[in-house]
Amino acid sequence: MSASAEKHDVFKAIADPTRREVLRLLSENERPISEIADHFDITRTAVTKHLQILTDAELIKGRKEGREKIYHLNPEPLTEVQQWLSYYEKFWSNKLSILKHIVENSED
């Protein structure tokens, strides 16, 4: 399988801050590539590459509308990230419980 045909990993796709911002933008509403590109100080070609990685990871989908391509969020693959993170919630909850105990039992 060639590198261009290889499906991108969701974790790798969201590792980049630009791609995370694209996902945030698309969580608000669907947008054409021109509108997405306007939010960044990078070339439209660079934005297109980010969109391709997100598309390959199935985090976004695009449809042709006239001469524009309109992108929208496909959040289902993010469940893989949520499931991975859910294991670590016990550590966060434990830390918060300890902090609560310390605050409630500290002397003024």
What pLDDT is stored for residue 107 in this prediction? 62
Give domain status of residue 3, yes or no.
no
Q: What is the pTM of this model?
A: 0.77
* CA dist., res. 97 & res. 15, Å (int): 30
Q: What is the CATH number of the domain that holds 22?
A: 1.10.10.10
Looking from the CA of 50 toward its CB, the CA atoms found within 13 Å total 21
Per the structure, the complete domain to which residue 54 belongs is given by: 10-105
Give the tens place of pLDDT for each residue, 2-41: 444 456 799 999 999 999 999 999 999 999 999 999 999 9
Q: Which residues pair with 32 in a beta bridge?
A: 70
